[in-house]
Structures are given as C-alpha cells and as structure tokens.
Amino acid sequence: MTGIIARALPSSELLLFPESVFSKNRVLLIAISRSGKTSETLRVVEEFKKKHYGDVVVITNYSDSPLAELGDISLSINAGQEESVAQTRFFSSMLVAVTAMSELLGSNNDFGQYKDALVSSGKRLIYKYQSLAEELGNDHITNQVFFLGSGSLYGLASEISLKLKEMSQTVTESFHSFEFRHGLISMVDNNTLVIGLISESVFEDDMEVIKDVQSFGAKTITIGEKGTDIEFNSGLKKLLRGVLYMPVMQLIAYYRAVSFSKNPDSPRNITSVVKLDMRKE
C-alpha cells in the first residue's frame, strides 16, 4: 500500500535474532500487542530504542500499558478490549488500524470514506451468514479444517486457523492456495472442510484449487468479495477489505467450540498475557 518494503515477524524472532532483521538503514518498528504487557514485545522495543534503530509505533488496546508508554506514537484502541483469551475483537480492531495507517501513508489521505462501508458490510455479513457459521460449527462429521489463502490472504487464513485451533482444539492448518496441491492435499477426505479465502485478482485460479479438493470428497466454503459462498459485496478496494474475512470465520470457531462443550473464551493451556522470564544479556 505504501511501496515501502515491510516484514511481519513475531516479537520473539526480533528478540532472539535481531541481526537477521535489522540493518544499518533506519527502520520503522510497528509493535502490536493487545495488553501492551507481552514480555518479548516489551523487550524488543526497549532494545530497539536503546540501539537507535529508528522510531516506534505502538498499537495496543490499553493506553496506560507499559508498551504504549514506549512508543514514539501510540495508537490505543480501547474499543478492542475483550475478556476472552482468544483474540477476536483485538485482532479485527488492530487490522483496521494498520490498514488505515498504511492507506494514509500511501496514496490516500482520507481513510474515513471507507469506514462506513466496512461497518455496514460487517454487520450485513454477521446477520446474513450467522446461521451458516452455526451449521458449520455444529458439524461433528468434519474432523479437520484447512484454510487456503493467496498473497496477503495467507496471513488472514493463518489467523483464522489459529482461532479455530485455540477455541475448539480442532485439527486445522492454513496453506497458500496453490501450494495446497503439493502434498497437503493428500490429507483431504470426506471428513474434511476446506475454506478458501478467495482473492479477486486470482479468482479463477483460486476456484480451480477448490474444485480439486471437492473432487476428493471435501466439503468446501469460499469467502470473498463476490461470486463466492460468503460474499462481501462491499465495493472496497482489495487491500481495504481484509477485516471482512474475520467475523463469519470467528463465529465458526465459536460455534464449534460450544458444540464440543469447550469454553471458547478460555482455551486450555493459554493465557491472555504472555510474561516470560527473559534471559538477560
């Protein structure tokens, strides 16, 4: 969106292997944390500022958090706060914020014109497809789910897969759409659900992959701007509609967790804030 080279990495990678990421060139670090208290992220920002690599933008849901205080610019989205350990509201609010910031830094200086379209499209999606999400969540025949996405949609497929895995402990993986044919398609059978995040720019190619998995007996659901099982019909540019892939998919994870008598707000073995006893230099 900006023409500037950018990389997305876990905080732990930046903490443990900074030399593989940072160079002598000045860097803008965008640090994202729901609580603003995550140990690795705090440590990375502290080290980044100490070594004067560049400026830091913090995106969090808590304006009074330690991380927010470290940012040269801090974007605090208090409406994204949630009690659930599984991050749904936070992720969506963060995605909108990052998208808006990228659009403003790029070719457009007024993200506000897109806001109403996002809100109305999101509400319509939840209203229209909630029953489908519940039906898919209650399907006990399905024992594995694959999420496919190309380009920028792969990251969203990974996030949705993680939510389903966290909430319901379902066997689920995300994969690049075309690469699914290279090996992983061997896992597909009649008990498989494949959900395709369809990109308008490679629509026909994405749909060919879906046809392939259907031929092996999998149930499939496609989601995208138009011509899919779940349609946005938002009229928004491709890179601005990413958050619209989230609501119905998050609902599927919620209903599947409830259907299997699991608490979707409190998945086993994880906490809302990760605090580690990080090694000292």
Buried-exposed string 17-37: b where 16+ CB fall within 10 A, e elsewhere? eeeeebeeeeeebbbbbbbbb
Residue numbers of the domain that contains 35: 11-105
Looking at the structure, tell me whether residues 96 and 179 fall in a common domain: no
Q: What H or E segment, with its residue span, contains residue 173?
A: strand 171-175
Residue 135: its pLDDT value, please?
Answer: 96
Looking at the structure, tell me whether residues 100 and 27 fall in a common domain: yes
Residue 281: its pLDDT value, please?
Answer: 41
Out of 74, 105, 136, pick the residue that ends a domain: 105
On the 0-12 / 13-18 / 19+ scale of CB atoms within 10 A, 193 is buried
Residue 137: its pLDDT value, please?
Answer: 95
Contact 272, 81 (CB under 8 A): no
Looking at the structure, tell me whether residues 236 and 140 fall in a common domain: yes
pLDDT tens-digit readout, 217-276:
999 999 999 999 999 999 988 888 999 999 999 999 999 999 999 887 766 655 555 556
Task: Kindly state whether residue 148 falls inside one of the protein's structural domains.
Answer: yes
Looking at the structure, tell me whether residues 36 and 135 fall in a common domain: no
Intervals of the chain under pLDDT 50 = 279-281
| 53, two tokens | 């690599």
Contact 114, 239 (CB under 8 A): no
Looking at the structure, tell me whether residues 196 and 75 fall in a common domain: no
Q: What H or E segment, with its residue span, contains residue 197?
A: strand 192-197
Looking at the structure, tell me whether residues 45 and 140 fall in a common domain: no
Q: Is the overall model pTM greater than 0.95, yes or no? A: no
List the CATH number of the domain containing 172: 3.40.50.10490
